[in-house]
Amino acid sequence: ELKVEQNPLFLSMQEGKNYTIYCNYSTTSDRLYWYRQDPGKSLESLFVLLSNGAVKQEGRLMASLDTKARLSTLHITAAVHDLSATYFCAGGYKLSFGAGTTVTVRA
């Protein structure tokens, strides 16, 4: 069964600075997903990464995948308050989720 570990679990960001969330997974997964969850809300799909070296970008968020290292990263550029949320990575056909990274962006 796929195990997914994220770090850090909590991330306090300063507006305007850059940060990275790391996602390690235990076994081969054909694709890796990133989701965002706002407090009390459901999950919003951000990215799906399909192959080694894949890079996807949307606004201030960029996700990448290294299948050899079994590592995905979510990079946040010039953090803004609207990015405050919990971010999950997940893999497998019956999604196995990491514990999530709770991001708080402060002025």
The identity of residue 27, as a single letter, is T
What number of H helices and E strands is found in the chain?
Answer: 0, 11
Between CA 29 and CA 65 the distance in angstroms is 11
Q: Which is nearer to other proteins, 55 or 78 (CB)?
A: 55
Confirm or reject binding of residue 45 to other proteins (CB under 8 A): yes
Q: How far is the CB of 78 from other proteins (least distance, A)?
A: 27
Q: Which is nearer to other proteins, 2 or 105 (CB)?
A: 2
3-state secondary structure of 82: helix
Give the interface with other proteins as residue ranges (CB under 8 A).
4, 30-31, 33, 35, 41-45, 48, 88, 90, 93-100
